[in-house]
Amino acid sequence: MEENKEYNILLYYCYAKIENAEAYREEHHLFCVENNIRGRIIISDEGLNGTVSGLKDDCEKYMAFIQGDPRFAKTEFKIDKHDKHAFTKIHVRYKPEIVHSSLRHLDPNVRTGKHLEPEEFKALKDQEDVVILDVRSNYEHELGHFKNALTLDIDNFRDFPEKVKELEHLKNKKVLTYCTGGIKCEKASAFLLEQGFEDVYQLHGGIIKYGMEAGGEDFEGKCYVFDNRIAVDVNKVNPSVVSKCHVCGTPSDRMVNCANSTCNIHVAICEDCGWELEGACSPECKEHPEKRPYDGTGYYQKNTNGYNPYKGLYRESNKETKTVHEPATNS
């Protein structure tokens, strides 16, 4: 029941210059720990990128914390209701980019594709001189994509620049880019402009916002998400299933990670094959010594490598800096 969904899942990003980003990572992480926010957050010199979960009130505090900082006041949150945390832990990492793109020289605050709100995207997408370009990876667009979208054979977004060479014949078209939440399109559309494409757009807020505000019409299949839900419904108007079970080939939008941790591919596997192969993508992976226990979800918590969420965190108290000690039991 909707009224029982006391948790929120937040998806957001913000391109903004952060001086001493590693120190801000510490401050940001402490806030999350103290307010029971869980998820994955990247802090970079170029901005923030996160997917987090928490009780509704805690998420309200978290959004106020971010938007209360003048650097991030423009941050827009995609908010989804849920019945529990979508993550088991909190990780706030410093990385060179907020999305690995190999396009560090591009600043979306300087130049990027024109932002289209969901209803604007919906009105424009079927016009004759328009190309809808999916800038996500193979495992994402194989699970779901817009009707008639052009997809690229890439395993990671950092491969996008090389693939643009194949799109030269589309320079006279309106190019509408889209991704999960909008962050990849900021750099992708900026790169297209740099390469001589003149009429470039991006779906503001990505697939997730399109589903929330425009009903998800003509998005075929499900949308891959980076939390323990793995895949979510988007289309409330004309839904369909476009992906097939990796094992038996029957239509299936049940996305899993292979239980063999050395394989770990993201593929659709139907319920029956999932249990028969114990979450593995093949008989070989089922017998592999690194196969993880399968609980029917196909989601596995990433190896944290001894990561301690309290390490290095400090708070000011009575004008003295005190270390925040980790609890006696730290899961």
CA 60 to the chain's CA centroid: 20
Cα(170)–Cα(86) distance, rounded to whole angstroms? 40
Which residues face 156 on adjacent strands?
A: none
**328: which 2 tokens?**
């006696």
Is 179 one of the catalytic residues?
Answer: yes
Give the gyration radius of the chain's Cα atoms: 21
**What's the one-letter identity of residue 292?**
R
Cα(148)–Cα(62) distance, rounded to whole angstroms? 38
User: With contact defined as beta carbons under 8 Å apart, do 113 and 177 qualify?
Assistant: yes
**51: which 2 tokens?**
């997917």
From 78, 105, 95, select the one nearest 41 (Cα to Cα).
Answer: 95
β pairing state of 47-55 and 144-146: unpaired
Alpha helix stretches (DSSP H) within the chain: 21-34, 56-67, 118-124, 138-143, 160-163, 183-194, 206-214, 271-276, 283-286
Strand locations in the chain, DSSP E?
7-15, 38-44, 47-55, 78-82, 90-94, 114-116, 130-134, 144-146, 150-151, 174-178, 200-203, 219-221, 223-224, 231-232, 255-257, 266-268, 314-317, 320-323
* Calculated CA dihedral for residues 185, 186, 190, 191, nearest 10 degrees: -50
**209: which 2 tokens?**
């916002």
Strand locations in 86-172, DSSP E?
90-94, 114-116, 130-134, 144-146, 150-151
Residue in 179, 223, 270, 285 annotated catalytic = 179
From 10, 9, 118, 27, select the one nearest 71 (Cα to Cα).
Answer: 27
The residues assigned a catalytic role are: 179
